[in-house]
Structure 1
């Protein structure tokens, strides 16, 4: 099973923001959309960074509350770990575990094509295991 299966089920919509948006504006996006990450993109939908709940805490800790008025480009995570639609769920989980990333943007032809969370990956991994177990049960019982 691949990232494409996750995207087909959950959809391809991603909440994004430009690097010029204020940290405060993006915090509102996180809250209003009940999400943990916003992907920072340019005008052509190329991934420039990611901003997560963890980044809010880090920015306030390092810069104080005045960072809320700073542009997102000043505090976003630039070294974005991405995946593709063809990335397997196992590989996806390995990447997330290795880099302690809870969200991975999906990139296609250099542009944002979706986003997957650790919850998405775990949910689909469990489905695959359940399907395999059911298949084995059916095979054994004939």
Structure 2
């Protein structure tokens, strides 16, 4: 199964924020959308960074509540690891594990086209394993 299959099922909507937006705006987006990360994008849907709940907590611990008045660009994770739609679930799980990343923006031709989370990857991986087990049972029974 590929990243494209995940996006086809869950949709391609991505909550994004401008690098110059204030942190309190990004935190509001995280809360209102019940998500763990927002993708920071430059014009042309180019990924500039990622801001996660972990980043917000780290900023609060380091700078206090004043960090909420800072631009997202100052506190985001700019070394973003992304993936493409043709990558397999095993590929993205390996990246997520190696990089300790819970979210991967999906890019095509340098543009943001979606996002996958570790939950998406695990859910689809389990589904594939269950399907394979059912096929094996059917083969043995048949």
Which TM-score tier does this pair reach, normalised by the shorter chain? over 0.9
State the TM-score, normalized to the length of structure 2.
0.98
Name the CA distance, whole Å, in 2 between partners of 1:62 and 1:82.
Answer: 27
Name the CA distance, whole Å, in 1 between partners of 2:43 and 2:85.
Answer: 22
Q: Which residue of 2 aligns with 1:112?
A: 112
Q: Which residue of 2 aligns with 1:52?
A: 52
Q: Could you list the per-position Cα deviations for residues 10-45 of structure 1 after superposition, in whole angstroms to 9, with x for gaps in the alignment?
A: 000000000011000100000000000000001210
Count of residues in correspondence between the two structures: 142
Pairwise CA RMSD of aligned residues? 0.6
State the TM-score, normalized to the length of structure 1.
0.98
Q: Which residue of 2 aligns with 1:134?
A: 134
5+ residue gaps in structure 1?
none
Q: Could you list the per-position Cα deviations for residues 65-121 of structure 1 after superposition, in whole angstroms to 9, with x for gaps in the alignment?
A: 101000000000000010000111011111101111110000100010100000000
Q: Structure 1 runs of 4+ off > 3 angstroms? A: none
5+ residue gaps in structure 2?
none
